[in-house]
Amino acid sequence: MAYTLQLLLVLCGVVGLSCAYYGPDLPPGPYCGTRDQCCSDRQDQCSRPILDTLCYCDSFCNRTRGHDDCCPDYEEVCLGLSPPTKLTEPCRHAGKLYLPGSSREDGCNTCECVLEDGITRWSCSQEACIIDGEVISRVNQDPRLGWRAYNYTQFYGKKLTDGLIYKLGTLKLSRETSRLGPINYDKEIPYPREFDARTRWPNYISPVVDQGWCGSDWAVSLSTIVSDRFAIQSNGAEKVILSPQTLLSCNVKGQQGCKGGHIDNAWIYAKNRGLVDESCFPYKAQLTRCPFKPRGNLIDTGCKPVVPQRTDRYKVGPPGRLTKEKDIMYDIMQSGPVQAVMTVYQDFFHYRDGIYRRSRYGNHEFKGYHSVRVVGWGEENGDKYWIVSNSWGPEWGENGYFRIARGNNESGIENFVVTVLSDVTEAYLRK
Ligand SMILES: *[C@@H]1O[C@H](CO)[C@@H](O)[C@H](O)[C@H]1NC(C)=O
Ligand SMILES: *[C@@H]1O[C@H](CO)[C@@H](O)[C@H](O)[C@H]1NC(C)=O
Ligand SMILES: *[C@@H]1O[C@H](CO)[C@@H](O)[C@H](O)[C@H]1NC(C)=O
């Protein structure tokens, strides 16, 4: 394109046409033509096609500052001013030319080509984005870190601050710590080196959910764990996928919907009011009106139970908090996946595979809290890890799961772990 421009300019000079250089993509004119074609008020014939739009040769074309739709040669032809002598250099990026006033996207930021005192420059917004090329290359060049990073399309062009709200959703723990009673098993049993609820109870572990752009991890992690535990505790009789939308839409008091929730509040809702199944109230990744009465049995809600004996909504017992690595392992082995709250920084969004530990790379200014489902553990070359289900769909990480270092409270993963028993219909309770 640069060559075409030069050619044009040379041609104008040689042939002696009255043409000037107005911008990288503009044909040299003339536009307004002769002085008597200029108008003193806005008339249709006073416009000329330019690029995909029109420019004007009337005295109104530059009345309002910032809305200059005059033809490039308006001043020269209509006002008799001399043509611009200095050529304005367009902005450039990746081999492309940009006119002043035009913009381009740069990750989650927008860059505008601005013209000041005849000089163009880029002016870009400075937000931290979720995806950071530097994090990707540094993580992938650091084999001792133990995990690899990836440029996920679902995060591209998104701001980090939005990711921390809408891809997570656990409000800062405060009263939770006191409201969920501690449980201590202290069982000295031979713990297996590896345990995975998905192979221990095939078909009972509910699929990875995609929470979308909705900070509903508090609802999603809870409903998946309760689903898994209904199936496990009933030996598959009450295998049910429970609906996180029940919590999102109905557990609204003290919660912030897609902007986050308190997990203690959600567990208390699940205990007192109960959930319904996903087919009855599918997940919509947005705050909708609660279609149910606050109290009532399952039939009142219009939902069909999986076993005829069930009348109540799907409820849980009192939630408890596990604080020790062995206790967490014991509980998973006995009853199924548990909920954990971890701290998420920018690098975590890029996780592709391996054993995650927070790296030194990327943004350390912003963080968020994330509720996830821990389904098991293992060891790789002496490196201990938890196996955890995320809620960013099956395309993310290791088929929707990630592994994270175990035994060192990595990213706070062992700091707040919640277990609960599902209220399985008596006749089907596993002995
Ligand atoms: C319109 O153009 C004339 C001639 O260049 C200039 O003096 C005047 O300031 C312009 N008006 C506005 C509003 O830009
Ligand atoms: C990530 O992928 C997008 C396309 O989806 C691309 O435009 C962008 O340059 C990539 N970023 C990095 C850091 O690789
Ligand atoms: C675990 O990590 C979290 C978050 O980093 C921290 O707040 C907590 O105090 C840690 N707990 C222990 C027992 O070290």
Exposure on the CB side of residue 375, measured as CA atoms within 13 A: 27
What is the chain's pLDDT, residue by residue, as a tens digit (431 residues)? 343 444 344 333 333 333 444 555 677 678 888 888 888 887 777 888 887 788 888 888 877 655 578 888 888 888 888 765 555 778 899 988 888 889 999 999 999 999 888 788 999 999 999 999 999 999 999 989 999 999 999 999 999 999 999 999 999 988 777 788 899 999 999 999 999 999 999 999 999 999 999 999 999 999 999 999 999 999 999 999 999 999 999 999 999 999 999 999 999 999 999 999 999 999 999 999 999 888 888 888 889 888 989 999 999 999 999 999 999 999 999 999 999 999 999 999 999 999 999 999 999 999 999 999 999 999 999 999 999 999 999 999 999 999 999 999 999 999 999 999 999 998 898 87
Q: For position 345, what pLDDT does the model report?
A: 98
Q: Which atom of ligand 2 is nearest to the CA of 151?
A: 1
**In this structure, what token pair is assigned to residue 117?**
């005192």
Q: For position 377, what pLDDT does the model report?
A: 98
Q: For position 5, what pLDDT does the model report?
A: 41
Check pocket membership of 79 for ligand 1, CB cut-off 6 A: yes
Check pocket membership of 353 for ligand 1, CB cut-off 6 A: no
C-alpha 92 – ligand 1 centre gap (Å)? 28
Q: For position 85, what pLDDT does the model report?
A: 55
Domain layout of the chain by residue ranges: 2-78, 91-124, 133-428
Q: For position 297, what pLDDT does the model report?
A: 87
Q: For position 338, what pLDDT does the model report?
A: 98
Q: For position 40, what pLDDT does the model report?
A: 83
Q: For position 220, what pLDDT does the model report?
A: 98
C-alpha 61 – ligand 3 centre gap (Å)? 64
CA 7 → CA 3, 28, 92, 351, distances in Å?
6, 11, 19, 50
Helices vs strands, H then E, count in the chain: 11, 17
Q: Exposure string (b/e) for 5-26, b if CB count within 10 Å is 16 or more?
A: beebeeebeeeeeebbbbbbeb
Fold of 133-428: Cathepsin B; Chain A (3.90.70)
C-alpha 387 – ligand 1 centre gap (Å)? 67
- DSSP letter at 54 equals E
What is the C-alpha separation between 328 and 336, in angstroms, rounded?
10
Question: Ligand 2: residues within 6 Å at CB?
Answer: 131, 133, 136, 151, 153, 156
For residue 3, the tally of other CB atoms under 10 A from its CB is 7
**In this structure, what token pair is assigned to residue 144?**
């001792």
C-alpha 75 – ligand 2 centre gap (Å)? 43
C-alpha 31 – ligand 1 centre gap (Å)? 18
